[in-house]
Homo-oligomer: A and B are copies of this chain.
């Protein structure tokens, strides 16, 4: 009996457990404290009315013998595929129905995509980074061994710091798989057309595949590309992951999709066919009710409602960024993202700022070091709270630092 030994290499992720522990200890010592949580990466606003109505109708369909729906097709139901295709068309991207693979989440897809690639590929990830990209490659044996500084021996790190405005730079080295996330979690920065074009050129030159996580694309407000497929050449080198989670508030009902262009081939093998086979063998489709709800968020009415929620979170993020900048913090994100990424005061580590904000302002955020070694000295706050509490948090920080 042999276990997957790579699992033993995984570092136990203490980040959120550690945060919870410190918050509970503080609350116990200060029962009267009014703590504001801006560490949260989950949405909080109700679902759009169009989705609620569509899901009620879908539930009713499941109550009738003539309207009951059994197994959803492995790659998604046609009505939702059509709506996703139309959504891409609105931003000028032409996607074929057969290129769309609907799933239960971008976490599942960005995690499972590794199944179709060999174990010896060279993998590039940003630092700091969404931990799923790293952990799933550790599990698959592509990460090597962890060093004292927290870097894995076989991963190629694309360091993102204030010096490069948190934009991952094309490396001199070869990589086979490159994880990019734009707008980025945790830094909130969106990549420009020029930056993405550099990556598409790199991938086509190197024969690499870009694994492009666009889960936050709906938050883009400054004209940055909302899809990698807006970049010429991307169809021969990129897979795009999108989600209804952060855009339409679907974290609790689970719907996402992955687009693999027909032109994407390596070693003469079509990548979409591999992903389709993976999904058909290890996945059985997304709830009919969820897919009906997702479709409704892409109708004219639904899109207006989704935008209202996006505006709400974005107003929070902008308020955080403006408020913190006026208090002397250097900030990124918050323009194309619900996330604001900030530099801790000179010489202060991420966890020091965490403790300071908790103890002196009763505010919970996320230490940047939790997202990778290069996140040390940075900190993440999110716009997913209520407007009132967010404004109160900003006031407290300003009172402490301004």
Interfacial residues of chain A within 11-68, with CB under 8 A of chain B in the complex: 42-47, 49, 51-52, 55-56, 59-60, 62-65, 68
Check A252/B62 contact, CB under 8 A, given A47-B68, A283-B108. Answer: yes
In-complex Cβ contact of A63 among B1, B46, B60, B105 (8 A): B46
A290: B residues at CB distance < 8 A: 287, 289-290
A192: B residues at CB distance < 8 A: none
Interfacial residues of chain A within 232-268, with CB under 8 A of chain B in the complex: 249, 251-254, 266-267
Please, how many angstroms separate the alpha-carbon atoms of A320 and B104 in the complex?
37
Q: When the two chains form their complex, are residues B107 and A104 in contact, meaning their CB atoms are under 8 A apart?
A: no
A7: B residues at CB distance < 8 A: 116, 274, 277-278
Please, how many angstroms separate the alpha-carbon atoms of A40 and B139 in the complex?
37
Please, how many angstroms separate the alpha-carbon atoms of A281 and B110 in the complex?
10
Number of interface residues of A (CB under 8 A): 73
Is the CB of A308 closer than 8 A to any CB of chain B? no
Stretch in A69-77, A218-226, A338-346, A353-361 with 4+ CB within 8 Å of B: A69-77
How far apart are A301's CB and chain B's nearest CB, in angstroms? 15
Quick one: copies of this chain in the complex? 2
Q: When the two chains form their complex, are residues B44 and A63 in contact, meaning their CB atoms are under 8 A apart?
A: no
Interfacial residues of chain A within 362-400, with CB under 8 A of chain B in the complex: none
Is the CB of A164 closer than 8 A to any CB of chain B? no
Interface string of A197-219 (1 = CB under 8 A from B): 00000000001110000000000
| Listed A/B pairs (22) with beta-carbon separation below 8 Å | A1-B117, A2-B117, A3-B267, A3-B271, A4-B118, A42-B70, A45-B68, A46-B63, A51-B62, A62-B252, A62-B253, A104-B283, A105-B284, A107-B283, A108-B282, A136-B281, A251-B284, A253-B287, A253-B288, A254-B286, A254-B287, A287-B290
Q: Which 3 A-B pairs have the closest CB atoms?
A: A2-B118, A111-B282, A42-B70
**A residues at B contact (CB < 8 Å):** 1-5, 7-8, 10, 42-47, 49, 51-52, 55-56, 59-60, 62-65, 68-72, 104-105, 107-108, 111-112, 115-121, 132, 135-136, 139, 176, 207-209, 249, 251-254, 266-267, 269, 271, 274, 277-278, 281-290
